[in-house]
Amino acid sequence: MIDDAIKAFLDKFKPPEIKVPDFSGLDWKQSTDRLRQSFHRASRSVEQDAPLMAELSTLAVDGAEGALRARLYTPMGAGIGPGPGIIFYHGGGFMLGDLDSHDMICRRLADGSRCRVLSVDYRLAPESRFPAAHADAEASWRWAIERAELIGMDPDRIAVAGDSAGGNLSAFIAQEMNRTDGPLPAFQLLLYPLVQFADIRAKKLPFQEGGFFISPNLFDYFRDGYVERQTDRMDPRVSPLFASDDDFKGLPPAHFVLCGWDPLKDEGKAYADKMARWGVPVTIREHPGMVHGFMNLTAVSVPARDAIKAAGEVVGRALGALS
């Protein structure tokens, strides 16, 4: 069963429906603006029990074609740097989300892990299409490694993390660094990641699966909004599940958080299995009553808050911030 608090929220808060079968004549700006407004209302909140940060700062990091906004979270107990850190990429189908929509996730992740968290605001579609977000993710990752001391992080103890589309960017970074002999993350935290951007309509979806944050129509909308050419849908950068076997050998350890009511759950398990087959240490935590994107609903769900903290503790132990 879906978590009662989450279900009550989803029943009350409905996003604009995407019903257009052919997006060729769609007004992308108008439709995306409406979705962004809904996502803004659903995911931004002020919570009385939000963890206090020792320091919170906004800075500019390198993107592929210019500076990107980023926010650095230093939790209580992180100590004087350099120490373990997390580079975080937000979800939203490559079209929604920003630093504020995922502020509470990053606060709770920093608090749970006792690690500094750098949240990166990459370019979004339809203004910037594939591979813009992936190019920004790689550029910002390399920036963080090269300037780790500046942000209080030990370059040998930096994890990459993200939810949904941000999980896609995180998996991409790990694979791309593996392909190019670049600086590998020490760990991957993949929160209900999007690991293939080809199709989910071929699956038989259980009743109510998906909810507010993802559905077959939204999947198609995000995919076509970000990936213009159909031939690019299988590109391993945007569909890391379909990467060659060599791209999985030597990947850093990973922890997956998956949801029981999520059309992307099976792909997440398949990705974890593929990593494990090549000897990559993998752990999975599934939340049976949760829907895709549930970590954005901490304002209405205590289990969502607990889930972020638990995921943070996994990363903290992996990086040596927690015993």
Which one is catalytic: 3, 134, 262, 301? 262
For the chain, the C-alpha Rg in angstroms (whole number) is 18
Pick the catalytic residue: 163, 170, 292, 301?
Answer: 292
Residue 58, both tokens: 């906004």
Q: Checking DSSP bridges between strand 187-191 and strand 282-291, what pairing results, if any?
A: unpaired
**Cβ 169 vs Cβ 188: under 8 Å:** no
Q: Please state, in angstroms and rounded to a whole number, the distance separating the CA atoms of residues 168 and 171.
A: 5
Of 128, 140, 164, 239, which one is the catalytic site residue? Answer: 164
Q: What are the residues facing 57 on neighbouring strands? A: 72
d(CA 21, CA 96): 21
Give Dmax (Cα) for the chain.
Answer: 55
SS3 155: strand
CA distance 166 to 222: 13
Do the Cβ atoms of 187 and 153 come closer than 8 Å?
no
Q: Is 164 among the residues known to form the active site? A: yes
Q: Has 262 been annotated as catalytic?
A: yes
Distance CA 163, CA 323 (A): 25
284 touches 276 (CB < 8 A):
no
Amino acid letter for position 106: C
Residue 63: strand, helix, or coil = coil
Please name every residue paired with 282 in a beta bridge, in sequence order, or none if there are none: 254
Whole-number Å distance between alpha carbons of 296 and 9: 12
Record the tokens describing residue 291, joined without a space: 């829907």
For residue 90, indicate whether it is catalytic: no
How far apart are the C-alpha atoms of 319 and 79, rounded to whole Å? 14
| Phi, psi for 61 (deg, rounded to 5) | -125, 165
Catalytic residue list: 164, 262, 292
